[in-house]
Amino acid sequence: MRITRSLAATIAILLPAVLMPACNNSQSSNTPSGTVFQGTGFAKSSPNIEGTWRSTSTVTSSTCGAGIPSFSGTQIVELTQSDTDLAVSVFSVCGTEMATGSGTISHQGGANLAHEQTLIVSDTCTLNFKTTQSGLVQRGLQNIGGSSKVTISGLGSCGRGFPCEVTGALLMERCPPASCTFQVCQP
């Protein structure tokens, strides 16, 4: 029994000494070879939502008074995309640029847009409209459904009730097939 223990102890001490040179040997089979990493899989890219969209919002709640427009209605949105980054231009149905902003699109199809608009109401009152919209790309990249929030703040003598907030449902439809033709509007 004592010989067996002695033999086991000797092997335990000598084994690393025998294996160590093999690990440091430059001829070892575990050294990297080649200059190109070869892997398998696929790269994810963001959905392409660049283009013109008809955007419609339906108000679901508002903390603003009657003097603030309802924000229900249609706008035309032009999106320019670079990978996951978006540039946003918002136009009225008459073709007047209302706001510019930015946004992102995730690899999973989640879109987030933000833009601001300033409206001079009088010499003593300016309103700032900060809009954030979020939604998911749906139906073959033809729709984005989600929500919209507009926060309105008054600068100067705009009266009471600011800041206030309008929230609503958002539907964006790609043009075409949706119509994004500007209307002829009276000045």
- Domain enclosing residue 165, as ranges: 51-174
Within a domain: 16: no
Within a domain: 5: no
Q: Is 3 left (phi over 0), alpha (psi -120 to 50) or beta?
A: alpha
pLDDT category, 179, cuts 50, 70, 90?
Answer: confident
Within a domain: 80: yes
| Overall number of domains in the chain | 1
Q: Which residues of 62-89 are buried (b: 16+ CB within 10 A; e: fewer)?
A: bebeeebeebeebbbbbbebeeeebebb
Within a domain: 109: yes
Within a domain: 41: no
pTM above 0.85, yes or no: no
92/37: higher pLDDT: 92
CATH of the domain at 102: 2.40.128
Within a domain: 30: no
pLDDT digits 0-9 by tens, 19-44: 444 445 555 555 555 555 555 555 56
